[in-house]
Amino acid sequence: MAYTEEELKKELETQEYAYGFYTDIEADTLPIGLNEDIVRAISKKKNEPEWMTEWRLEAFRAWEQMEEPDWANVHYEKPDFQSISYYSAPKKKPQYESLDEVDPELLDTFNKLGISIDEQKKLTGVAVDIVMDSVSVATTFKKTLAEKGIIFCSISEAIKEHSELVKKYLGTVVPQKDNFYAALNSAVFSDGSFCYIPKGVRCPMELSTYFRINQAGTGQFERTLVIADESSYVSYLEGCTAPMRDENQLHAAVVELIALDDAEIKYSTVQNWFPGGKDGKGGVFNFVTKRGLCEKNAKISWTQVETGSAVTWKYPSCILKGDNSIGEFYSIAVTNNYQQADTGTKMIHLGNNTRSTIISKGISAGKSQNSYRGLVQVGSRAANARNFSQCDSLLMGNNCGAHTFPYIEAKNKTAQIEHEATTSKIGEDQIFYCNQRGIDTEKAIALIVNGFSKEVLNKLPMEFAVEAQKLLEISLEGSVG
Amino acid sequence: MLKIENLHASIEDKEILKGLGIEVKPGEVHAIMGPNGAGKSTLSSVIAGREEYEVTEGSIEFEGEDINELEADERAHKGIFMSFQYPVEIPGISVTNFIKTAINSNRKAQGLEDMPANEMLKKIKEKAALLDIDMKFLSRSLNEGFSGGEKKRNEIFQMAMLEPKLAILDETDSGLDIDALKIVANGVNKLKSADNAVIVITHYQRLLDYIVPDFVHVLFDGKIVKSGTKELALELEAKGYDWIKQEVTA
């Protein structure tokens, strides 16, 4: 293949979404629009207790008074929240004991995604809780986890079976009224995952959830709550792919992490929502609120590989409340064609001797816009806080943009905050050099991108890192499967 | 092995090579010398298949096949290697990872499976020893923060790993001190065989003290204006390029 910058750009623009297909499974969908009755109906459909219904209604009432934020460096047509259906569940809600009972079409979908349950089951050490169109339809390895006292189930189940834990922690890190999308999520969340690791327990396997959006016109509102009790450890993996769709799909998830004293949570995400066509049509709007709370000596690491969505608005954050707590954020965000991403993190230092690290890698191609937005805040009583931030941008072609918005607010004189930023471009020289060694251009780009992203890829669990590398290649090359 | 006839090549509509011809047979070492701006680097880029250069006339044959329409990576698969005057950096990719990718890309083009890891490791150790390369060096990011000497040594290391049929050394001596020059030249000499060929492109004679050419060609204004044996290089060293210029323009 020949590679002038022009051709390279063209090649990048002509790639199509590899996972574009639609599964025809009967679904049970509520009428479009949102009001108190709909919120009540959702709660009722899920057989929730009264307190949960009230909690949702509180959130809904707050949301009604709120405005959709517009400070991010993204431009899109705002969704009409009254033309969305807020609940969609596969009708054949199963209680499977074995895979044979699962709708074959559903299994086929997983096969197309290359994440078949079959495969996943064989992957020792990985328990999969698959969220298909908002409702959990399969959970594996539950028994092994139960022996350690670990709870890993859908949030709906947790609301019923472990209501004391949910009641105690839900909304404590991301309050109902936190922001427009969080409020909306609190009112209408359909399902999501719940995880509790008891005191002193080290979760023996990576916990993994695959999310998909599958029903035309339904927004997906996931709710995830992870609680690591004192001195416990858990590594949680979240991955997504979505089918091709013409209209925009709204995704407004909320993830809350709670790391109690001496606990550690590692939360890794590979996100591949449909990014829209090469003409900028369609694609998922991904407005996510992710936040973790660290108590004394606790540690939370967010690692994310973001390749999808038409518009991304996402800032996985850490509140370093306890003394000596640690927050980390490692991110790779890839944008191509007309994708827009405004992503980053907030590190809120409240305790003494708190430390945070931010490594952000943005890769822009096509006509996309990629922004890093980060806040490092040191409270007046947080002595000896440390932060190190590094934001690197890689540009491909001349029509994309990379932006960095680092905010620093230090109210304590003992704080030490470092920020480094670089911008580079994949050069024809680099491509030619690789070509001359017999490496074709697609592979050369993959190599350069992988090298650029290495520090973050290294933070992912092994099997996820492989998938993430594959995704980077798919997102940036003409190699359509 | 390589046969170039009446080669005309331009970049951005500016003609640099103006009817160049050269023939290289297996087992031979050719030196191409010439003043700055004569077209030395253009020649190596054109043989390697760099896109920016357009061949407007003439032919390049490699092992009897016209390669003018082939892409750079396809030419590499056929056994053409070029040691860069200015090797590029690829941050985050180790020397080992890079050479592994290159070797397996070439094997794939030949319809072979990836080279087994133990075989790869053995080869790396062997070639690193040949060029007096520390194993620690191999884990560093490709060319990132390398000294001039390290970059050139790394080029020859890759050449040793890829075992090309034709190696073009583009100004390999530039930026090298005498010790590094000896190591690099020594490496090239050890890799020479009756089946492969080397083209040394250089401004100065000094590299040719160590890599002794069978033929020396003088490139001037896009053409080979004089060919001879290694004595010609010494003559150029002694007299400079001016007398060539006068001879050509006379």
- What is the pLDDT, as a whole number, of residue A142? 66
Mean pLDDT, residues B88-103 taken together:
93
Q: Are A327 and A294 in contact (CB under 8 A)?
A: yes
CA distance B160 to chain A (A): 12
Q: Given pLDDT bands bounded at 50, 70 and 90, which one contains residue B219?
A: very high
The rounded distance, in Å, linking the Cα atoms of B103 and A480 is: 24
Could you give the CA distance from residue A58 to residue A182 in angstroms, rounded to a whole number? 12
Asked if A222 and A210 count as a contact pair (C-beta separation under 8 A), the reply is: no
Q: Does B139 touch chain A (CB under 8 A)?
A: no
Residue among B73, B92, B109 minimizing CB distance to A435? B73
Q: DSSP string covering B39-101, please?
A: SHHHHHHHHHT-TTEEEEEEEEEETTEE-TTS-HHHHHHHTEEEE-SSPPPEEEEEHHHHHHH
Rg (alpha carbons) of chain B, rounded to whole number: 18
Cβ contacts of A454 on chain B, cutoff 8 Å: 92-93
Q: Determine the pLDDT at residue B130.
A: 87
pLDDT at A40 over 70: yes
Most trustworthy range by pLDDT among A97-106, A107-116, B91-100: B91-100
In the block, tokens 């133990």 appear at B118
Q: Is the confidence at residue A224, as pLDDT, over 70?
A: yes
- The arithmetic mean of pLDDT across residues A320-345, rounded, is 92
Nearest to A63 by CA among A185, A153, A209, A152: A185
| A372 vs B: CB within 8 A | no
Q: By mean pLDDT, which of A222-226, B6-10, B242-246 is the weakest?
A: B242-246
Q: Number of C-alpha atoms within 13 angstroms, CB side, residue A141?
A: 24
Cβ within 8 Å, pair B73-A430: no
* Statement: residue A110 has pLDDT above 60: no
Helix/strand/coil for A421: strand
The top-scoring range by mean pLDDT among A7-21, A457-471, B102-116 is B102-116
Closest C-alpha among B89, B198, B98, B202 to residue B150: B89
Which residues are within 8 A (CB) of A460 and not within 5 positions of it... i.e. 6 or more apart?
Answer: A268, A270, A303, A305, A468
Closest alpha carbon to A364 in A303, A275, A468: A275
pLDDT of residue A116: 46
CA dihedral for B96, B100, B102, B103, sign (positive or negative): positive
pLDDT-based confidence at residue B250 (cuts at 50, 70, 90): low
As a whole number of angstroms, the distance between CA A233 and CA A250 comes to 32
Confidence (pLDDT) at A245 = 53
The string of pLDDT tens digits covering residues A45-71 is 888 999 999 999 999 999 999 988 888
Question: What is the model's pLDDT at position A104?
Answer: 61
Report the pLDDT value the prediction gives residue A27, as an integer from 0 to 100. 53
pLDDT score recorded for residue A213: 44
Is pLDDT at B24 greater than 60 in this prediction? yes
Q: How confident is the model at residue A73 (pLDDT cuts 50, 70, 90)?
A: confident
Where do runs of H (alpha helix) occur along A68-179?
Answer: 104-113, 117-122, 142-147, 155-161, 163-169
Token look-up 């559903």 returns A106
Where helices occur in chain B by DSSP H, the ranges are: 40-48, 72-78, 95-109, 117-130, 148-162, 178-191, 230-239, 242-249
The structural domain count of chain B equals 1
Q: Which of A334, A274, A275, A341 is nearest to A73 (CA)?
A: A341
Which of A39-53, A407-421, B67-81 shows the lowest mean pLDDT across its residues?
A39-53
Q: Please count the residue pairs, one from chain A and one from chain B, whose beta carbons lie less than 8 angstroms apart.
A: 82
Interface test with B, best of A6, A437, A439 (most B CBs within 10 A): A437
Query: How far apart are alpha carbons A109 and A210 in whole angstroms?
Result: 12
Q: Please list every residue in chain B whose beta carbon sits closer than 8 Å to the beta carbon of residue A443.
A: 101, 105
Q: What is the mean pLDDT of chain B?
A: 92
Sign of the Cα pseudo-torsion (B222, B223, B226, B227, in order) = positive
Least confident of A8-12, A226-230, A475-479, B64-68: A8-12
- CATH code, domain with B140: 3.40.50.300
Identify whether the C-beta of residue A12 lies closer than 8 Å to the C-beta of residue A473. Answer: no
- List all residues 6 or more positions away from B179 whose beta carbon is below 8 Å from its beta carbon: none
Q: What angle do CA A166, A172, A177 make, to 5 degrees?
A: 115
| Cα–Cα nearest to A22, from A129, A108, A135, A130 | A108
Q: How far apart are CA A269 and CA A471, in angstroms?
A: 12
pLDDT at position A121 is 41
In angstroms, the CA A386 to CA A414 distance is 9
Strand bridging mode A193-197 / A284-294: unpaired
Longest dimension (CA), chain B: 61
Is the pLDDT at A3 greater than 60? The verdict is no
Q: Residue A119 and residue A136: Cα distance in Å, rounded?
A: 18
The whole-number pLDDT of residue A230 equals 97
- Nearest-CA distance B154 → chain A (Å): 13
Q: Give A450-453 contacts, CB < 8 A, sequence gap 24+.
A: A450/B92, A450/B93, A451/B90, A451/B91, A451/B92, A451/B93, A451/B141, A451/B142, A452/A361, A452/A363, A452/A392, A452/A394, A452/A424, A452/B91, A452/B92, A453/A305, A453/A332, A453/A361, A453/A363, A453/B92
Mean pLDDT of A426-433: 90
d(CA A443, CA A435): 9
Residue with tokens 């290391």: B157
Which of B53, B70, B73, B166 to probe the A interface (max A CBs under 10 A)?
Answer: B73
How far is A267 from A298, CA to CA, in rounded Å? 14
Q: How far apart are CA A299 and CA A353, in angstroms?
A: 13
Per the model's pLDDT, the better-predicted residue between A146 and B227 turns out to be B227
Mean pLDDT, residues A445-458 taken together: 89
Q: Per-residue pLDDT for A123 more than 70? A: no
Give residue A133's pLDDT: 41
Domain that holds residue B104: 2-249
Least confident of A200-209, A461-470, B24-33, B163-172: A461-470
A199–chain B nearest CA distance, Å: 39
Contact A438 B106 (CB under 8 A): yes
The structure tokens listed for A298 are 């606790």
Asked if the Cβ–Cβ distance from B82 to A448 is below 8 Å, we say: no
DSSP state of B135: G
Q: A453–B48: do the CB atoms touch at under 8 Å? A: no
Question: Residues B143, B90: contact at Cβ < 8 Å?
Answer: yes
DSSP A79: P
CB contact under 8 A, A4 and B105: no
Between A222 and A94, whose confidence is greater? Answer: A222
